[in-house]
Amino acid sequence: MDDDLFFSGVTGQAAAVRDGSVTSRDLVAATIERIHRYDGALNAFTVVLGERALDEASARDETPAGERGPLHGVPVAIKEEVDVAGCVTTFGGRANRTPAAQDAEVVRRLRAAGAVVVGKTNMPEFGQVPYTDSGAHGITRNPWDTVRSPGGSSGGSAAAVAAGLVPVAIGGDGGGSIRVPSAACGLFGLKPARGRVTDAPFQHPWWALGTTGPLARSVADSALVYDVIRGALPTDRWHAAEPHTTFAEAAATDPGRLRIGWATRSPAPGVRPHPEHVRAVAATAELLAGLGHDVAEVDPHYPDATAPFLVQYFGAIRRECDMVERRDLLERRTRETARLGAWVRPGAVEWAIRQGEAVARKVNQVFDDVDVLLTPTIAHRPPVAGSVQGLGTVRSLLKSLPASAYAALWNVTGNPAANVPVGFGTDGLPLGVQLVGRRDDETTLLSLAAQVEKAQPWADRRPVL
């Protein structure tokens, strides 16, 4: 099967199945073969479903044309923290042993739209760090340079999509875990607004911090998948306001003339952005001005979000540790994190959520003067893979700060934020910038990101596997 199909994304593969160029079974079979051929060097997958996925694809081929969904026949991968029926939800570790009885609601919606789940992807245990170093499943590597990390915690999902093993993979973002690996691997990754995507069967993943979404090769691919999975349930604690249009329509619509503010100063004190990231922001600002937008440097007056983030972070890890079957099989760092978070009781978490809302009110004042904020996505170039493996909690957090410095604030506030690829650095690895929107306003980000993508295409380059 031609390599072009593997790099054609969700829209390309869905079109190929729809017009009969390929059957779903043949596409899934070729996908599984490709995973077996190339994933040994990447370690993106923890589980490949094989015959089960082929049987599901065969069933898709029997579906009448009038009953086929927008993702019909398309292979997808799911991060280890999301339930897939019949698979153990490991959260990147060894402490769970019993397979999930049913799909998470997001996975159910993907299947209802015609997608075929081909496997699960690697993550660090409980997503504690923005790199994908798992004691249970090993180190995941960046397809652009296997010495380097793909970021995390959705690094398995990012590596799988960047390498053309699957056209899209589901990840999660509690402090940058969709945007950070998207930046490292050259993908479009949107952290949706808080409450946009259901967390069922849970009320929330990481209290007010976490959300779920796709890592994709293009803005259009991401928008299409979001239209399938978005929408909260009554059991969800948070609910986002309904958009005025579909995400796919937004991605296909000119954004009009926007006020765009750019800033390169880090929200995290002491973190300085790499010069190539500063230049990427400046070049993107210049591109946007040339496209007719009103672009100016701004000072967002970032408030300190450390306390509300860390309280919810430690509370979430502690809570997840209490949910596993074999706590004695948790990694040393995870047990240490749980001990350090022993003081985080429900009252402290609720305080942190309220403090996060105070932070949101302050930082969202920047949107009185601009429609979109442009910043770096990460402060550093992707480090060597495995750089935090074996480190304790405090050293891991300190080493992780350059990855999460620009991202985690927007988890605290709940604003949508996206990594948009804008080229490559002198090290040959992708460069990305972050676009941040008003709360519940993913549609503006999608329209603007699609415009940047069209003006400066990036998806034509492929890693050499």
Quick one: which H or E segment has residue 320? Answer: helix 306-323
Q: Is the model's pLDDT at 460 over the cut of 80? A: no
Q: Is 404 a catalytic residue?
A: no
Q: Which two tokens stand for residue 222?
A: 């991401």
What is the chain's mean pLDDT, rounded?
Answer: 96
What is the pLDDT at residue 297? 98
Give the Å distances, CA to CA, from 100 to 19, 229, 378. 35, 20, 34
- Check residue 203 and give its pLDDT: 78
In the predicted structure, residue 56 carries a pLDDT above the cut 80: yes
Active site residue 362: no
3-class SS string, 24-53: HHHHHHHHHHHHHHHHHHCCCEEEECCHHH
Provide the whole-model pTM. 0.97
Which pLDDT value is given to residue 226?
A: 98
* Range name among 180-184, 194-198, 202-206, 430-434 with the lowest pLDDT average: 202-206
Q: What per-residue confidence (pLDDT) applies to 456?
A: 86
pLDDT of residue 457: 75
Q: To the nearest 10°, the Cα dihedral for 244, 362, 214, 113?
A: -30
pLDDT per position as a tens digit, 106-151:
999 999 999 999 999 999 999 999 999 999 999 999 999 999 999 9
Look at residue 90 and tell me whether its pLDDT is greater than 70.
Answer: yes
If you ran DSSP here, which 8-state letter would residue 366 be given?
G
Name the catalytic one among 24, 177, 218, 396: 177
Determine the pLDDT at residue 254. Answer: 97
Task: Evaluate whether 162 touches 150 at the Cβ level (below 8 Å).
Answer: yes
Q: Which pLDDT does position 204 carry in this prediction?
A: 78
CATH superfamily of the domain spanning 3-455: Amidase signature (AS) domain (3.90.1300.10)
In this model, does residue 294 exceed pLDDT 70?
yes
Q: For 371-421, what is each residue's pLDDT tens digit? A: 999 999 999 999 999 999 999 999 999 999 999 999 999 999 999 999 999
Which is catalytic among the residues 8, 24, 79, 182? 79
- The answer to whether 247 and 226 have CB atoms below 8 angstroms apart is yes
Distances in whole angstroms, Cα of residue 45 to Cα of each of 57, 156, 166, 264, 423: 19, 6, 11, 35, 26
Q: Before 447, cis peptide (omega within 30)?
A: no
173: helix, strand or coil: strand
Q: So what's the pLDDT on residue 459? A: 61
Range 354-360 contact pairs with CB under 8 angstroms and sequence separation of 24 or more: 355/307, 355/308, 355/311, 356/208, 356/305, 356/308, 356/309, 356/312, 356/412, 356/413, 356/414, 358/303, 359/303, 359/304, 359/305, 359/308, 359/409, 359/412, 359/413, 360/412, 360/413, 360/414, 360/415, 360/439
454 is catalytic: no
Residue 205 has a pLDDT of 79
Catalytic-role residue among 24, 153, 396, 447:
153
Does pLDDT of 461 surpass 90? no
Query: Phi-psi bin for 253: left (phi > 0), alpha (psi -120 to 50), beta?
Result: beta
